Amino acid sequence: MTHTSHIHDDGSHHDHDHPHAEISVGEKPGYYAVMETAVRELLIAKGLITANDIRHQLEVLDSRTPALGAKVVARAWVDPGFKARLLADGRAACEEFGISFYDDTQLIVLENTPAVHNLIVCTLCSCYPRPVLGLPPDWYKLKPYRARAVSEPRVVLREFGTIIPDDVEVRVSDSTSAVRYLVLPMRPAGTENLGEEQLAALVTRDAMIGVIPVTLDQEVGQ
């Protein structure tokens, strides 16, 4: 699996240092675009949903970013009671935190420890904890990651720059349409004096997927 510069991009920006082809206004929509439009118009015509329902759902999806998951992780680091509830029932704890779920999926939170490192994958498609992390990164959806994360997880982690010692167990959890996973990374040493907001700023999307740890590699305002 070849990683390019977008592998560790958190989606916050994109460098436009290459030319873009001019957009053709006369370009015909693809198969899936046509089917999406047809199904949407049919559902609206039958009165099953409204255009406003669709707009609201899109706004909900757009509002979900890894910052939500980072806040959950930071709260678990500073509040043992919340951490226990999060590990017991991830969805209920997130709802308690004010994060709503727009489907019936369960959320299982997996804690990284000095003895166990967790890695999340979806081998069949790209099931992902969208209510707390937003849209998945491109590499998460690609077949090389989906296959190799299961067959050779330590090699994949190494390609992300994460070296797992031989005495640490690597557990790979395969998401499904009914169950999604979120990694609770280890709190890095040296953060004892940081507040919850400062801790959340350290937590990245990739750490909550399990491909990298949380580190103190940036300055945090005191």
Q: Which residues are catalytic?
A: 122, 125-127
CB atoms within 10 A of CB 142: 13
In 3-state terms, what secondary structure has residue 56? helix
Residue type, 50: T
- Give CA–CA dist 68/71, Å, rounded: 5
- 187 contacts 214 by C-beta, under 8 angstroms: yes
- 40 contacts 54 by C-beta, under 8 angstroms: yes
DSSP string, 18-31: S--PPPPTTPPP-H
Q: Are strands 116-121 and 179-184 parallel, antiparallel or unpaired?
A: unpaired
- Tokens matching residue 59: 């706004």
- 184 contacts 162 by C-beta, under 8 angstroms: no
- Give CA–CA dist 65/70, Å, rounded: 9
- DSSP symbol at 8: T
- Tokens matching residue 129: 């904890």
Burial of 189 (0-12, 13-18, 19+ CB in 10 A): exposed
